[in-house]
């Protein structure tokens, strides 16, 4: 039950995120000050709410994922009482570490205010944003995979494709709105820098 609630919650927040990045439309409809405030509030709710529901996917009761190479080293994690293994912990870290780095690097380069509210005051094309346009979303997916493996959360791993589609659609929406706000400056940036995976031209 908790898993289903968490999954529905993560997906239901998607329209709220879409609205939060429609800065021009919000300000035109509600006025500059009120539209900005509403967008910021929706951005914070959709961002932190998504993280809370992701945590629900990882921690909710569900069948355990045990990998074929797991022979020894199974144990229960105190407090949450989840059974996992040393192999799962190690393999999960291989996804979690780069995912956490991408997410943290994205927040540092973009700024916490912009990361929370989805409202950039200027176009950031330095740091990690020289390599990829949406490092925080890529980091979130990698971290989700890593934590799901570490906790041996079977259902959490199985819904990963749905979360990837969700994040891809959000990135497309953000690209569209940023192009409206920054015009050809963002379109040129979009042509040069890939959404998720760095290419030779962005290196």
Overall pTM > 0.85: yes
Give the residue extent of every domain in the chain: 2-202
pLDDT at 70: 60
pLDDT tens for each residue of 52-107: 999 999 999 999 887 766 655 666 665 566 778 888 888 999 999 999 999 999 99
Other Cβ atoms closer than 10 A to 156: 26
Give the gyration radius of the chain's Cα atoms: 19
Q: Is the dihedral of CA 142, 145, 148, 152 positive or negative?
A: negative
Per-residue pLDDT tens for 164-201? 999 999 999 999 999 999 999 999 999 999 998 876 65
Given this model, what pLDDT does residue 78 score?
56
Average pLDDT, the chain: 90
Run of H or E residues at 143? helix 135-150
* 55 CB neighbour count, 10 Å cutoff: 12
Diameter of the chain measured on Cα atoms: 62
Contact between residue 171 and residue 195 where contact means Cβ atoms under 8 Å apart: yes
Level-2 CATH architecture, domain 2-202: Up-down Bundle (1.20)
Distance of CA 75 to the CA centre of its chain: 29
């Amino acid at each position: 039950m908790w898993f289903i609630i968490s999954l529905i919650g993560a997906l239901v927040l998607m329209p709220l995120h879409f609205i939060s990045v429609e800065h021009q439309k919000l300000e035109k409809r509600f006025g500059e000050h009120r539209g900005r405030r509403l967008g910021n509030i929706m951005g914070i709710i959709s961002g932190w709410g998504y993280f809370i529901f992701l945590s629900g996917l990882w921690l909710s009761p569900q069948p355990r994922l045990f990998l074929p190479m797991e022979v020894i080293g199974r144990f229960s994690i105190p407090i949450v009482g989840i059974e996992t293994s040393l192999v799962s912990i190690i393999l999960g870290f291989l996804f979690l570490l780069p995912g956490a780095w991408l997410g943290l690097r994205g927040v540092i380069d973009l700024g916490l205010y912009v990361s929370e509210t989805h409202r950039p005051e200027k176009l950031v094309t330095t740091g990690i944003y020289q390599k990829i346009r949406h490092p925080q979303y890529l980091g979130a997916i990698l971290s989700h995979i890593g934590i799901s493996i570490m906790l041996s959360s079977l259902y959490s791993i199985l819904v990963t494709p749905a979360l990837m589609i969700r994040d891809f659609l959000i990135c497309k929406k953000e690209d569209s709105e940023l192009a409206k706000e920054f015009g050809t400056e963002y379109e040129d940036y979009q042509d040069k820098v890939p959404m998720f995976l760095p290419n030779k031209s962005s290196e």
